[in-house]
A and B are shown apart, each in its own frame.
Chain A
Amino acid sequence: MFEVAALRDKIREMEGTKVVPRLPVHAALAPLIGGGLVPGGVYSVSPSLSLALGLAVESVRESGWCAAIGFPHLGIEAVRDSGVSLERFVSIPNPKEHWATVVGAVCDGFSVVLARSPHGLSPTSAARVTALAHRTGAVLVVLGDWPGATARIEVTSVVNHGVGDGHGVLSSRDIHLRASVRGIVKTGILPWPLDREADSVAPVRRLRVVS
């Protein structure tokens, strides 16, 4: 299995596929997905908006637009607090049966697209959306399953801090993750809020050129 992957990489290298630098990602997530987001990649994640925002925020912090598709109950204040600028953010709450068309359209121009995967999306439509993301370089973060995703990240458990028996207030959460990229599984913890020091996660380089 590993040899096939290695061979495929080798072929890609020989074909002269250009090496694109990865986009920055939150320090807690970088080691899980090979250092950064692959432009045009599709990330399939557990239905956790905190995780989705954690993946998105660094690549749109300075510039670039972010769209959320299929979240009619998005907490706008949490989006803002995560570091995503509302000036460069749009919500398309109900794409209805046009999910694939809308996601495809938005990929052309937006840096990061967060989308809740719809029920019963045909593999053909999914493949078309994947191809569109790949062509336009938009990072697509799908909350739900996705065939042939660049990486899969699931939430294994969450530790909440601050709330006791009737007192306190929720102050922070540790979101425990398991990520798998091309069969390599790694675990990590995403702090929420994102700017909190992640105690149990080692610091990592933000950018790494990969071939």
Chain B
Amino acid sequence: MTRVLVVDIPGWSGRFEDEAAAVRHFDPVIVSVENTVPLVRVLQPGRIAMGARGPARYYRGEESAAEALRAVHPDARIGIADGLFTAVTAATRANPVCIVPAARADEFLAPLSVARVGDPDLVDLLQRLGITTLGAFAALDAGAVRDRFGVAGELLHRSAAGRDDSPVIPRDVPVDFARAIDCEPAIVRADELAFTVRAVADEFIDTLARARFVCTAVWVTLTTERGDSHERCWAHPRSFTAADVVDRVRWQLDSIARFTTDTSTEGFAGDGIVRVVIAPDQLASISRYEPALWGEPAGDRIHSVLSRVQSILGHEGVLTATVTGGRTLADREVLSPWGDKPVIERRATEPWPGHLAALLPTTVYLERPVVVLRGRDIIVPAEVLREPPRVVEFDGRTRDIVEWSGPWPIAERWWLGSVLRYRLQVIDSRGAAWVLLSDGDEWRIEARYD
């Protein structure tokens, strides 16, 4: 019987807005597990399985392997048992480690609720038959179960008896479904790549559909001329269509292009894509997904519209907004791509001395344009106003200042000896109101009321 180790982080998906975000954020955890154990299978975001023998040998014992793997996440729970089903069950009951000794799976499972087999129809039926524990289910005759509940029922019956010996296939990629495209010559442009991938993506989804599967997470691997491989798993809130797959390939190319131009002097232009591999990461039975094809809940309309816009403009083309803590106006805004959970670094509930609390401006510049502030005779220095500002100059234009207020200091990490910043409100002769910010060297436009 195969010993299986399961790492489970309870409630993982609930921490994120949607499945896509849960999968994306789970990636680093997978990577840190893979640093320890190379071949793992992702059961769902927040849950990984692997053969227990390798880690047990490496760490000299299952207990020490479990301890070592707990380090991947503070909330991680570890279950080790015979077979995947028992190991998953052990992990969900672990606190924080549960090891079921070899050949004792049936004893461990017997008192637990039959609901754990997971198939709601089967569970409902069993409970109406008075079979409420896994032990009672396991006690049924295997042949009778197969006749009544078919092959799927038989598998669950084996699981309930602690005799689930389905192998742990790393990353659960049915090789047959993966598709590779070799590009000759190499492709540099995203639209060209999308065009090339299109037909294969259609075939990829069709093949899955014929096998009665839908794909909810897909691995895209792009190989460049230089031989670099960029692999990424993309999840989908429902299931992938061919167009969705093409979008993910394009976005991935965009992100590589950005990444490459950011970090290397050679840039991306000379390094085209020579190979694209699309492989399913998670498959679900098509029957479970068919209802979604008929009636869509109202919130899905917004989601589908925004997904479409993201397919045109890229993942970061559509942003949701959150207000957070901070002293400058730009610091107080967090904009995150649609579908991602915002990353809040500064809490809005803490006091932020010096932040503009009064009437808030409608336009806030992230990169603040430099202005020159003139008094009657002199350029107004940035640290103190030695005389009233009369004119503000920027972008080659001058505006007369009719009213002004400030400057107010913004105390920021003064204990670390950093510069004091000042804020100034000015109103020009046309009635436009501006917020200016100085860093001690220059005045810049922080915001505008328009």
Q: Do A and B form a real pair?
A: yes
**Bound complex: CA A116 to CA B288 (Å):** 43
CB distance from B182 to the nearest CB of A (A): 31
Q: Does B139 contact A (CB under 8 A)?
A: no
Query: Are B363 and A75 interface neighbours, CB within 8 A?
Result: yes
Which of A47, A49, A78, A163 makes the CB contact (< 8 A) with B425? A163
Task: Specify which of A65, A92, A192 is in contact with B313 (CB 8 Å cutoff).
Answer: A92
Whether the pair B318, A92 counts as a contact (CB closer than 8 A) is yes
- CB neighbours of A169 from chain B (8 A): 358-359, 405, 425
Known: A105-B309, A163-B403. A94 touches B359 (CB 8 A): no
Binds B, one of A79-87, A126-134, A200-208: A79-87
In the assembled complex, B332 has its CB within 8 A of some CB on chain A: yes
Instruction: Please give, as numbers and ranges, the residues of chain B lying within 8 Å of A75 by CB-CB distance.
Output: 329, 333, 360-364, 447
Within 8 Å of chain B (Cβ to Cβ): is A73?
A: yes
- How far, in angstroms, from A177 to B369 measured CA to CA in the complex? 29
Size range of the interface on B? 35 or more
Q: Are A157 and B431 in contact (CB-based, < 8 A)? A: yes
A170 to B385, CA, bound (A): 19
What is the 8 Å Cβ interface bit string for chain B, positions 428-450, against chain A (1 contact, 0 not)?
00011100000000000001011
Q: B299-323 vs A: 1/0 string, CB under 8 Å?
A: 0011011101100110001111111
CB-defined contacts of A162 to chain B, threshold 8 Å: 358-359, 405
A125 CB within 8 Å of chain B: no
In the assembled complex, which residues on chain A have CB atoms less than 8 Å from the CB atom of B301? 108-109
Q: Is the CB of A95 closer than 8 A to any CB of chain B?
A: yes
Given the known A-B contacts A76-B321, A80-B323, A102-B312, are A90 and B360 also in contact in the complex, defined by CB atoms under 8 Å?
no
What CA separation (Å) do A113 and B388 show in the bound complex? Answer: 41
Instruction: Assess whether B403 is in contact with A106, with CB atoms less than 8 Å apart.
Output: no
The verdict on B406 contacting chain A, using a C-beta distance below 8 Å, is yes
B427 at the interface (CB under 8 A from A): yes
- Complex Cα gap A81–B321 (Å): 13
Question: Is the beta-carbon distance between B319 and A78 smaller than 8 angstroms?
Answer: no
- Which residues from chain B contact A167 at a C-beta distance below 8 Å? 405
Chain A residues closer than 8 Å to B364, beta-carbon distance: 73-77
How far is it, in angstroms, between the C-alpha of A132 and the C-alpha of B363 when the chains are bound?
Answer: 28
Cross-chain contact A53 with B362 (CB below 8 angstroms): yes
Say yes or no: A73 contacts B433, CB within 8 Å.
Answer: no
Q: Mark B378-391, 1 if CB is under 8 A from A, else 0.
A: 00000001001000
Tell me, rounded to whole Å, the shortest Cβ–Cβ distance linking B310 to chain A.
10
| CB atoms of A95 and B450 under 8 A apart | no
- Decide: A101 near B312, CB < 8 A? Known: A76-B321, A86-B323, A169-B358: yes
Residue B338 lies at the interface, judged by CB distance under 8 Å to chain A: yes
Considering the chains assembled together, what is the distance between the CA atoms of A193 and B358 in angstroms? Answer: 10
| Chain B residues, Cβ within 8 Å of A74 | 321, 362-364
Chain B positions 388-408 with a Cβ under 8 Å from a chain A Cβ: 388, 403-406
State whether the Cβ of B366 lies closer than 8 Å to any Cβ in chain A: yes
| Closest beta carbon of chain A to B251's beta carbon, Å | 15
A89 CA / B319 CA spacing, docked (Å): 9
| CB closest chain-B residue, reference A71 | B363
Known: A75-B329, A86-B320. Contact between A165 and B359, CB under 8 A? Answer: no
Contact with B along A32-57 (1 / 0, CB 8 A): 00000000000000011110010000
User: Please, which residue of chain A has its CB at the minimum distance from the CB of B321?
Assistant: A76
B43 within 8 A of A: no
Neighbour of B321 across the interface among A49, A50, A89, A108, CB < 8 A: A89
* A79 vs B450: C-alpha distance when bound (angstroms): 12
Query: Do A166 and B309 touch across chains, with their CB atoms under 8 A apart?
Result: no
Q: Is A171 an interface residue (CB 8 A)?
A: yes
Indicate which residue in A50, A101, A159, A166 contacts B404 across the interface (CB closer than 8 Å). A166
Flag A146-171 by CB within 8 Å of B: 1 or 0 each: 00000000000111101111111111
Given A89-B320, A158-B431, output 4 extra A-B contacts at Cβ < 8 Å.
A75-B362, A93-B319, A170-B425, A173-B359
Please list the 7 inter-chain residue pairs (A to B) with the smallest Cβ-Cβ separation, ordered nearest first.
A158-B431, A49-B362, A76-B333, A75-B364, A163-B405, A109-B305, A78-B360
| A–B complex contacts, Cβ < 8 Å, 10 sampled | A53-B362, A74-B362, A76-B364, A80-B323, A91-B318, A91-B335, A160-B427, A170-B405, A173-B449, A192-B449
